Amino acid sequence: MRKEVGVVVSTQDSPSVSEVNFVITQNTVKRGSYVEIDYDEGTMICLVTQLIKTNRYFERADSVKEIETNNEIARNFPIAEWEFLVAKAKPLGCLAELGKKKIVKRVSLPPAPGSKVFAAEKKNLFNFLGLDENGLNLGNVEFHDIEMKVNMDSLLRKHLAIVAMSGAGKSYLVSVLIEELLERKKELGRLAIVVIDPHGEYTGFAEPTEEYANYSHQTNLVRGQDIRISLANNFGLLQKLLGKISTTQKRILSEAFNSLKEEMKKGNGPFSLEELKERILSEAKNEKTRNIASALEELIKLKIFAKTDNPSLLDIVKPAQLTIIDLSDIIDMKKKTVIVDYVASRLFHERRRKHIPPFLLVVEEAHQFAPEKVSKEEAISKGIIRTIAREGRKFGACLALVSQRPVYLDTTALAQCNTKIILRLTNPYDVDHVSKSSEAIDADAKNMITSLRVGEALIVGEAVNAPVFFNVRQRKSMPSKHEISLEEQARMFEEFMEEANREAEAYL
């Protein structure tokens, strides 16, 4: 049984193909909810973008003040009789019959004034939004009893950006996404998941638990400090890190590197950065070689290059397996970007060779690893992130860029993310930047973004046929340590200190 909620009214600008105003007869319509109207082309689906209460008795401020000064308007006039709730709705498209199927069409005619407006029916809305019974369940469509099951291919193949201000629930949403990918059935196609985790927010996935859903058996936790990059296989990365060196220095470096590689092939085994430095200095000791050796010494201090890779990504990147690259123990930003560059490049190239399954690379704090308006030398990982963003879809290399400052995120990478999930975002520059990168975000949606509550999200782009506001579902996995309240953290700290003191006293 359809639920009638209003009637289309005639105003100067409405009804048109871009705006339909209706007077609400059932007070169940909310901003962000969907309604449907039967008209010549089929069933029009509209998003309610604004609600306005009007009352003729309160239209003139001077009169209201005047009457309220000595009397109450309500005591003298039937004000309730004149209160109307008018909804402004944006037509998103139309569901039309094509044989036995329903197809989504563009709206090319407005509905007639006086048309009945109904709450969008579950089945119609599910079809219209392009949701998928076998999709990833991210939550519930706001104000509608519909699971937000997004088709995995549409959501991730052309990359995803998740943007929100700090504390709005980005990591929570990413955790929900990871849970869905980890629980996905084999026959539906499963991705490998790699998360660049600068703050250690996802380490809970690796911890065995009985209280929460246990994903520890599907999770590999890689500590940033333990990551080593095989020097022999990553000459390009080495060159990139050395930055602008002269042609002669490049030649010296190449000759030393190649000679060590030749020896490796002959059975001498892989070589280290220290050995490379020694080889350069052993060839000739002049200003040029000393400069390169000095630059290599700086890289040695980073403790990133080694004889072999650790861990071997080929061994851990598997379908329905989560690999967390925990960078929380690394302070040096350059080292972090080197690791991200290495992991991303390696994943991309191995996927091109089909050595690893299709994957989703989640880059938390993406604005740090693919920053806008920063030189190449400073943004080591930006190039590969851009490359995956541009070419990844052809190879099943998917990106999810997560950022709290989208205005600082590389515009090219952000623009390549065909689906965007936006949680609460209040900084006007960020809101503007995100809306400019997505045509689906119009002025009304922009206004609504700033008023989203924690846990509410807007999804726009490839994954859905129209912008959808949804409530992120409850996570099943162990919450991040960052989700513990400040009070709880303070309490835990004091308890820890008291325990430490007790132990110290007992020892003495």
The residue ranges that bind another protein (CB under 8 A) are 10, 56, 63, 66-67, 70-71, 74-78, 81-82
> Please, what sign has the CA dihedral across residues 67, 72, 74, 78?
negative
Q: How far apart are CA 507 and CA 33, in angstroms?
A: 64
Q: Are 171 and 400 in contact (CB under 8 A)?
A: no
In the complex, minimum distance from the CB of residue 28 to another protein, in angstroms, rounded to a whole number: 22
Pick 10 or 286: Cβ nearer another protein: 10
- Minimum Å distance from CB 84 to another protein? 12
Nearer Cβ to another protein, position 75 or 373?
Answer: 75
Nearest distance in Å: CB 436, another protein: 37
Return d(Cα 143, Cα 140) in angstroms, integer: 8
Which residue in this structure is represented by tokens 């500590």? 223
**In the 8-state DSSP scheme, what is residue 409?**
B
Residue closer to another protein by CB (options 61, 508) is: 61
Burial class (CB in 10 A: 0-12, 13-18, 19+), 6: buried
In SS3 terms, 39-70 reads as ECCEEEEEEEEEEEEEEHHHCCHHHHHHHHHH
Q: Which residues, listed in sequence order, are joined to residue 42 by a DSSP beta bridge?
A: 39
Give the nearest distance from C-beta 20 to another protein in angstroms: 16
Cα–Cα distance for residue pair 247/180, rounded to 1 Å = 50
| Minimum CB–partner distance for residue 86 and another protein (Å) | 15
Q: How far is the CB of 60 from another protein (least distance, A)?
A: 10
Q: Which is nearer to another protein, 113 or 167 (CB)?
A: 113
Q: How far is the CB of 80 from another protein (least distance, A)?
A: 9
Q: Which residue has the tokens 């807007």?
A: 458
Instruction: Give the bridge partners for 400, in sequence order.
Output: 160, 362
The single-letter code of the amino acid at 321 is Q
Residue placing its CB nearer to another protein in the complex, 7 or 374? 7
C-beta of 81 vs 377, nearer to another protein: 81
Closer CB to another protein, 67 or 316, in the complex: 67
Separation between Cα atoms, residue 280 and residue 289, nearest integer Å: 6
